[in-house]
Structure 1
Amino acid sequence: MSASTEASAIIEYFKRKSIFITGATGFIGKQLVEKLVRSCPDIEHIYLLVRPKRGHAVNDRVKELVAGPLFNTVREINPNFAEKISALQGDILDPNFGLSASDESIIIEQCHIVFHSAATVRFHEPLRLAIQMNVASIKKLLALCHKMKKLQSIVHVSTAYANCNRNDVAEMIYPPPIQPGKLLEASEWMDDQVFDVLTNKLINDRPNTYTFTKALAEYVISQEAKDLPLAIIRPSIVGSSWREPIPGWVDNYNGPSGLVVATGKGMLRAMIGSDQAIADIVPVDICVNMMISIAWHTAVKYPKTIPVYHCCTGHLGTLTWGKVTEYGLHHLDTISLESAIRYPNLQFTENRFRYHCLRTVQEVFPAFLLDCYMRIIGRKPIFLKLSDKIYKSVRTLDFFTSNSWIFPNDNSVSLQNEMSDIDQKIFGFDLKELDWFSYWRHYCMGAKQFLLREDLARTAKCRIRYQRLKRLQNIIYFTAIALIIKLVFFKSFKIRRIFVVLFRLIFAGLSAITAKIRL
């Protein structure tokens, strides 16, 4: 081990520690496991709460997880790293997480640190299920943590948008509009239809059940975890990795990733939102570095109150949704995706009427024509259904692409200042050096390589297809304009004469400018 590694207080703390992680098969969870086994090689063991899925046993799911490209770097450093990772079969929806007596005993007797990142991230999950997954799971976790004999630190992953009904969100836990206990009781007996009818009234000024239940979960923590070494991290919109272990790594279609793919394939052309609204996107590796740092700090400092840490980028004020569009379209021109149906383009508008007009003309009508073609050649029509699916997905983002929030990060800055130089280098979360233009290049590349699993060697051919689609698009646009001009203007002789004279003047002016440039 190098001297620099020996000097790391965080790495030293994690030596011979056993860790329990929920949500390890999720986007953040995978990155967390990889970072721990790569940067803290002397960890005793990592236990992952995993549920069987689609006939795959939990051990098979963990083997599949660690076999992925995300773990290529640590695999080169330590080929036997997976020996320190074990699956505990369970489900956050089950009583006591569905843990067997022996697995529960392992957590109680051996684990020192808990990372809780399991949750539903579907914005419009039915309220009953969202409560069970995001709120009831917290009560189960805290009950388990109160039994743990070696517990030193708990990190709960919330969201910066838990209190998105406020413009300025402090690093504190806010009282909810309704007591979580009452909703938990109601979720046990109330009829589904009644619960669904009451949803809008219950969530009130929050945009969805996800942000509402995340706020309830924080309040449950404030009431039932006062005597536990617990801290809350609130990431904003989590995007692909910035640096570690692979720039641009991403494994799901949530948030910006779905926008990159849908735009790159030519299916998404318009969204409701403001070009000037802040796009508060944080790289997943930055989020994970902060989680590990928080776990260390909570254990060694044992704060008297439950600290809340914002993990956001909005305070930098350098990335807007307009910039996201600009950078994304620029890089998609060269990092072209396979099987695109149109040349990529995306525009935000705050006018809902204009949005629906744009969508009808640029998304729905082309999808209808493509489905007609699919029927003619005897294949199943898919494009209208796919367009509708994308529409429903992006509409859940309207609230976040139309508004901006202030997320003060005083606690995060304070934590960073308490870290040594070597720890800031290994587990740093300072974003001052983040170049968004470069970040989006890696993001587009990562979506192509890791999410769509496309062959990078075919990128040149994909770009040729893009250029053909661009030429075809221009031909269609100019043809449509010519038809409109002919139908509207050329019916009148006088208007036709005016149009011809105007066109000649414009042409003469452009010719003169061109001649001067040549000279």
Structure 2
Amino acid sequence: MGFLEERDLSGVPTIPDFYKGKTIFVTGGSGFIGKVLIEKLLYSCTDLDRIYLLLRNKKGVKSEDRLAELYAAPCFQRLKAERPGVFESKVFVVSGNVMEAGLGLSQEDRALLVNRVNVIFHVAASVRFDDTLKYSTQLNLRGTVEVMELAKEMRELCSLVHVSTSYANTNRDTIEEVLYPPLADWRETLAICEKADEHTLKILTPKFLGELPNTYTFTKQLAEHVVNEYKGQLPIIIVRPSIVISSIDEPIPGWIESFNGPVGIFVACGKGIMRTIHTKADIKSDFMPVDVCVKNIIAGAWIRGTKIMDPTDDIEIYNCCSGNLHPILMGDLIAMSKQVAKDVPLDNMVWYMGGTITASEKYHYVKVLLQHLLPAMLIDTLLWLFGKKPMLVKIQRRIYIANLALRYYTTQQWTFTNTNFTKLRSVIKLEDIEQFYYELESTNVVEYFKQCCLGGRRFLLKEKDEDIPKARLHCQRMMVVDRIFQIAFYTVLIWWVCSKIVKVFNLHSNIF
């Protein structure tokens, strides 16, 4: 039985009232989604009791110190200004590690969580496509097992949200909001990965992955089956975001933490260092703004937590993706990136912004060689001659590796259904519409991606808004240089072709 059908929601509390007085446990709180989730909970559900974050000691920095670093992120500026003191009084660290047995929790911390926690958000995951099978299995699979086992002990748990991915079942053309058959036995996979050495696993990895492209999607698919084994025992939902990108509005318009997705394309094109993208113009790209994703996660915990747990309850799945709500074609995305790059140019662009779609894989690699690698080598040589550090070949190598990892996603088309995703927003109470209703249909795409580019400037490249006029002048200069270069190149090319034709004509004239 679902949580949205055959229910009278008139007596159900509002979302802030549901979270009022509740204790929340979050894994992955230091990640992109995790930070926005924490900020939104504290901002819009301020009367919650407290949030416990599972943080590990990292690179010699203690988990308690990492909490201060987390709060220093720009995405908490709104909270600091409008809800001063809330983070400091309501957010606490429990030291541990998702990859360790028992989550690496001390007995005291485990007892604390067992006795107090009401809502769990399991967000922690390895999202890198090139992680080894052993590492990805430990984090995405073993971590989920440990969270589920901890949840089983909790006495007052009313809701558990497991964050998966829309791309966990890419061996199918249409991906619905259902649990598909497992691609392997998760217990056997976990046992093999924990016992086998890295060399053996490297050989076995292609056999494990089968039709899936990487260890991330494979382990996330199996993790859903770990969660499913607790059906009827724990109050669980699964949220499957697609590619999560910059925020529309909250906590800051354009907030972003990584170069993943279209922001990376904007930046690379805007700097003039990416000239070819292996994809097809008519492929629909599915991106999810992080604030929309977080609202769906928070509302999902609410709709599950306001229903009394029943052994017959299914685990409801939400494909948190745009689907047909607001599809964007790759061709339109590239065209927008060029226009946005003119309006919001990046500082110190290497060349005038560019980037074209190349459907042919072989032709794409020829263009990578001619338009990426060779110019990078030339510029690095000039930098070296002027006593500066060469850098462009290194950057182009990163772009190449990133494009290899994304090629599977940029050259294929899937149809995502999101019936539960849209149904959930339709039952949000009138009092919660302003803070928690989410939609994509009314978004002005050009303005949104302009905010994405501004966010990339501010938060990723650390460029200042007041330098935009100077960047525009530099952009205009680079446009002139680009045009002069193209005119010179094609003039030389035409001259060379004409000279060859003249030589052939003269040769034929002499013969006859």
CA shift for structure 1 position 161: 0.4
Which of 160, 163, 171 matches 2:177? 171
Tell whether 2:199 aligns with 1:193.
Answer: yes
Q: TM-score, normalised by structure 1?
A: 0.92
Aligned to 1:35: 40
Code of the residue aligned with 2:375 in structure 1: it is P
Aligned to 1:13: 18
Deviations 1:434-458 (A, max 9, x none): 1211110100000101121111111
Residues 23, 117 of structure 1: 8 Å contact kept: yes
Aligned to 2:494: 485
Spell out the pairing of 1:391-406 with structure 2 (5 A cutoff): 391-406=400-415
CA shift for structure 1 position 98: 0.9
Deviations 1:317-376 (A, max 9, x none): 531111211112111112111222111111222101110121111111110101111221
- Aligned mates of 1:129, 1:139 — CA distance in 2: 15
Spell out the pairing of 1:443-462 with structure 2 (5 A cutoff): 443-462=452-471
Residues 276, 321 of structure 1: 8 Å contact kept: yes
- Aligned mates of 2:262, 2:109 — CA distance in 1: 37
Aligned to 2:252: 246
CA shift for structure 1 position 206: 1.0
Aligned to 1:205: 211
CA shift for structure 1 position 147: 0.7
Code of the residue aligned with 1:203 in structure 2: it is L
Aligned to 2:8: none
Q: Secondary structure of 1:224's match?
A: coil
* Identity rate, percent: 34
Residues 126, 216 of structure 2: 8 Å contact kept: yes
CA shift for structure 1 position 314: 2.3
Residues 8, 422 of structure 1: 8 Å contact kept: no
Moved >6 Å (runs of 4+): none
- Aligned mates of 1:260, 1:51 — CA distance in 2: 33
Deviations 1:420-478 (A, max 9, x none): 12223211122221121111010000010112111111111111111111111111111
- Aligned mates of 1:238, 1:394 — CA distance in 2: 17
Aligned to 2:443: 434
CA shift for structure 1 position 495: 10
Spell out the pairing of 1:270-281 with structure 2 (5 A cutoff): 270-281=276-287
Q: Secondary structure of 2:443's match?
A: coil
Which of 48, 54, 67 matches 1:62? 67
Aligned to 2:53: 48
- Aligned mates of 1:225, 1:90 — CA distance in 2: 26
Residues 326, 440 of structure 2: 8 Å contact kept: no
Q: Secondary structure of 2:285's match?
A: coil
Gap regions ≥5 residues in structure 1 = 1-6, 497-519
CA shift for structure 1 position 255: 2.4
Q: Which deviates the most, 250-259 or 364-373?
A: 250-259
Which of 74, 86, 94 matches 1:81? 86
CA shift for structure 1 position 305: 0.5
Which of 378, 401, 418 matches 1:409? 418
Code of the residue aligned with 2:294 in structure 1: it is V
- Aligned mates of 2:475, 2:504 — CA distance in 1: 38
Deviations 1:265-292 (A, max 9, x none): 2222211111111110010000000000
Aligned to 2:510: none
Code of the residue aligned with 1:96 in structure 2: it is G
Q: Secondary structure of 1:315's match?
A: coil
CA shift for structure 1 position 60: 1.9
Q: Secondary structure of 1:231's match?
A: strand
Spell out the pairing of 1:205-354 with structure 2 (5 A cutoff): 205-301=211-307, 302=309, 304-354=313-363
- Aligned mates of 1:413, 1:458 — CA distance in 2: 41
CA shift for structure 1 position 59: 1.9
Structure 1 vs Structure 2 CA RMSD: 1.8
Q: Secondary structure of 2:120's match?
A: strand
- Aligned mates of 1:299, 1:320 — CA distance in 2: 37
How many residues are aligned here? 491
Code of the residue aligned with 2:196 in structure 1: it is M
Q: Secondary structure of 2:499's match?
A: coil
Code of the residue aligned with 2:55 in structure 1: it is V
Q: Secondary structure of 2:324's match?
A: helix
Q: Which deviates the most, 136-145 or 198-207?
A: 198-207
CA shift for structure 1 position 69: 2.0
Tell whether 2:481 aligns with 1:475.
Answer: no
Q: Which deviates the most, 426-435 or 212-221?
A: 426-435
Aligned to 2:364: 355
CA shift for structure 1 position 134: 0.6
Aligned to 1:424: 433
Q: Which deviates the most, 418-427 or 20-29?
A: 418-427
Q: Which deviates the most, 117-126 or 260-269?
A: 260-269
- Aligned mates of 1:490, 1:392 — CA distance in 2: 41
Deviations 1:129-165 (A, max 9, x none): 1111111111000010001111110001000000011
Code of the residue aligned with 1:319 in structure 2: it is I
- Aligned mates of 2:59, 2:263 — CA distance in 1: 24
Deviations 1:170-222 (A, max 9, x none): 11111112101101000111121111111112111111111111100001111
Code of the residue aligned with 1:281 in structure 2: it is F
CA shift for structure 1 position 385: 1.9
Residues 231, 294 of structure 1: 8 Å contact kept: yes
Aligned to 1:509: none
Q: Which deviates the most, 139-148 or 201-210?
A: 201-210
Code of the residue aligned with 1:17 in structure 2: it is K
Gap regions ≥5 residues in structure 2 = 1-11, 506-512
- Aligned mates of 1:462, 1:416 — CA distance in 2: 41
Aligned to 1:160: 166
Code of the residue aligned with 1:192 in structure 2: it is E
Aligned to 2:113: 107
Residues 24, 119 of structure 2: 8 Å contact kept: yes
Aligned to 2:29: 24
Residues 279, 314 of structure 1: 8 Å contact kept: no
CA shift for structure 1 position 8: 6.7
Which of 92, 100, 123 matches 1:94? 100
CA shift for structure 1 position 401: 1.2
Q: Secondary structure of 2:346's match?
A: coil
Residues 98, 104 of structure 2: 8 Å contact kept: yes
- Aligned mates of 1:226, 1:217 — CA distance in 2: 17
Do the aligned partners of residues 333 and 495 (structure 1) sit closer, same or farther apart at CA in structure 2, a change above 3 Å counting? farther
CA shift for structure 1 position 394: 1.6
Tell whether 2:386 aligns with 1:373.
Answer: no
- Aligned mates of 1:23, 1:394 — CA distance in 2: 26
Residues 153, 298 of structure 1: 8 Å contact kept: yes
Q: Secondary structure of 2:415's match?
A: coil
Do the aligned partners of residues 386 and 123 (structure 1) sit closer, same or farther apart at CA in structure 2, a change above 3 Å counting? same
Residues 489, 495 of structure 1: 8 Å contact kept: no
- Aligned mates of 1:335, 1:55 — CA distance in 2: 39
Deviations 1:205-253 (A, max 9, x none): 1111111111000011112344100000001111100111211110112
Residues 157, 234 of structure 1: 8 Å contact kept: yes
- Aligned mates of 1:59, 1:325 — CA distance in 2: 43
Residues 52, 58 of structure 1: 8 Å contact kept: yes
